[in-house]
Amino acid sequence: MHIKSAEFVMSNSDVAKCPKDRLPEYAFIGRSNVGKSSLINMLMERKSLAKTSGRPGKTQLINHFLVNKNWYLVDLPGYGYARVSKSSKKTFQKFITQYFEKREQMVLAFVLVDCRHEPQTIDLEFMQWMGESGIPFNIIFTKADKLKPKALERNIAAYTQKMLETWEEMPQYFITSASNNTGREEVLNYIDQINGQLNAS
């Protein structure tokens, strides 16, 4: 897929106010500091489409970006981040769940996981909730450039093993690096393929 245009459309915390058109949406979500903004910028070939920050929890709203005028990339707040008051954290979590439960245009979620770490409870619990709620998702492993190939292979194998304790099969996953474009083609072609199937049906 060639990215011809990617434009910011709106930010809000109310699912009812999300764009009204019926274009397919692909949601990106992960723990804070997982490299979500960098990944989005890399996919879209834009320097600062999504705001990157050294401070976790920067994305605090549902952000819609219209891509190639025919689908939305949705940047969602991280779950379980630091420096945010308890009350506002609850609000984020609430509109994240509302987005997934109510947004019919949402075709697929990409759950971002830092490939350098062993499986984190919060990621596993979030994916468990997605599974129980019947919400389709894939996993995107980020920061692949930070590991040597063998270590990366080992970590992915360990992650797969952990997932298979509760899942019948490992969800589809992609290995990416925002700094050297690893995985860009694969993720975009996958979205393209789904869009093609949606248009055909």
Q: What is the pLDDT of residues 131-150, one digit of tens each?
A: 999 999 999 999 999 999 99
Model's pTM, two decimal places? 0.91
For residues 151 and 115, what is the distance between their CA atoms, to the nearest angstrom? 10
Give whole-number Cα distances, 159 to 69, 166, 177, in Å.
36, 12, 18
Query: Does 62 have pLDDT greater than 50?
Result: yes
Contact 44, 73 (CB under 8 A): yes
Q: In angstroms, how far is CA 171 from the centroid of its own chain?
A: 14
Q: Please give the share of the chain, as a percent, with pLDDT higher than 70.
A: 90
| SS3 state of residue 20 | coil
Can you list the domains of the chain with their CATH numbers?
6-200 (3.40.50.300)
Query: Does 125 have pLDDT greater than 90?
Result: no
pLDDT at 60: 74
Contact 142, 175 (CB under 8 A): no
Contact 152, 175 (CB under 8 A): yes
Phi, psi of 159 (to 5 degrees): -65, -45
Query: Does 83 have pLDDT greater than 50?
Result: no
pLDDT at 34: 92
